[in-house]
Amino acid sequence: MKIHDLNSKAFEALQQEFSGPLLRWFDSHGRKDLPWQNPRTPYQVWVSEIMLQQTQVKTVIPYFHRFMQRFPSLWHLAQAPEDEVLSLWSGLGYYSRARNLIKTAKIICDEHQGVFPNDVNLLIGLPGIGASTAAAIASQAFGLPTAILDGNVKRILCRYFMVNGFPEQSSVKKQLWELANQCMPLSRCADYTQAIMDLGATCCTPKNPGCNLCPLSPSCLAHLKGTVASYPFKKVKKTKPVEVRHFLLLYNEDGKIYLEKRPPAGLWGGLWCMPMMEQGLAPEAYLLQHYDLKSIQLEEVVRLKHSFSHFHLHITALAVLVSPSGNAVHENNGNWFHLNQINQLGLAKPTMSIIKCFEEKQRIVSE
């Protein structure tokens, strides 16, 4: 349904029946004890919003606590080494978010004297902050009537107004922004923003929505017509391609393993990872060509599957004991690390899993 499909009186009625019931529901059922709500500072709101991009609240909370303990202010973050920030981000995924946090912290400290901008247009210009994230920061940190449009809000609006079309389609997204702005109240902006996110996370969920508990169900068009399951429209899924890689765990008798820092852009950008090679190459030939390692013995450590948004990665991890003569191996910004140093590094998630499996195998062998 498009906005002009409703006459003005009917649309006014829907608008009035939206924010009021939602805020009353929030007063009784909303989440008010999230760590970034007390105190609700611009810095804490910003960090939480970046962490919450593509990530659930329950996953974010322990990461947020650790992050705030280490970087309690914008100034602390602006001065932090990238490796240290990435190490606290390890396992959270989408690592460009962490690098953008550092960039934005430096910009605010250098160009805004450490004062977080309260203007949406200025916020959108900062690394890693899009329109919806900027609106979330402005409404929650500064109490401004700026509507958000994250996945939860898109789902709620598509159902409530029976918006036809895939939400990421430009014309549909424009329509959803108009609806989001018109539903946004002028007061209790921070509460409203949290309320609509909470509703999407607890009642108006992608599957098995709790319409009987939803404060908007009396005037939700999809609910009234019994078509909630049809909204929002889904994108036709494409089969993800599968890529196969060998991960090479080089270790020595001193208890060190060899890791390389990935390039800033691309897969696991800026993180430490063991050397990896494509399927079809012989590991022995690869190690000879790239690391001048000869007469090696390969031992399989583990096989893993790791999924990205656009492809699946199947990994076979192979361990290689490097003799003292091979300890000079250094290529592609690599270095040797003791296992007790690993927790201080920003590691790709498969690398962490492989190292844990390797440590367990070494422990069993030594017993």
Residues catalogued as catalytic:
49
| Helix/strand/coil for 353 | helix
Cis upstream peptide for 39 (omega within 30°) = yes
DSSP state of 149: -
Contact 104, 128 (CB under 8 A): yes
**Following DSSP, what letter does each residue of 57-121 receive, concatenated?**
HHHHHHHHHHHHHH--SHHHHHTS-HHHHHHHHTTT--THHHHHHHHHHHHHHHHSTTPPP--HH
Place of tokens 């999230």: 34
CB 99 within 8 A of CB 269: yes
Q: Is 127 helix (H, G, I), strand (E, B) or coil?
A: coil
Q: Could you tell me which residues are beta bridge partners of residue 334?
A: 260
Measured at the alpha carbon of residue 263, what is the angle toward residues 259 and 268, in degrees to the nearest 5? 75
Q: Tell me how far apart the alpha carbons of residues 234 and 130 are, in angstroms, rounded to a whole number.
A: 23
Give the other-Cβ count within 10 Å of 62's Cβ.
Answer: 12
Q: Assess contact for 97 and 53: CB atoms under 8 A.
A: yes
Closest among 310, 311, 197, 189 to 244, alpha carbons compared: 311
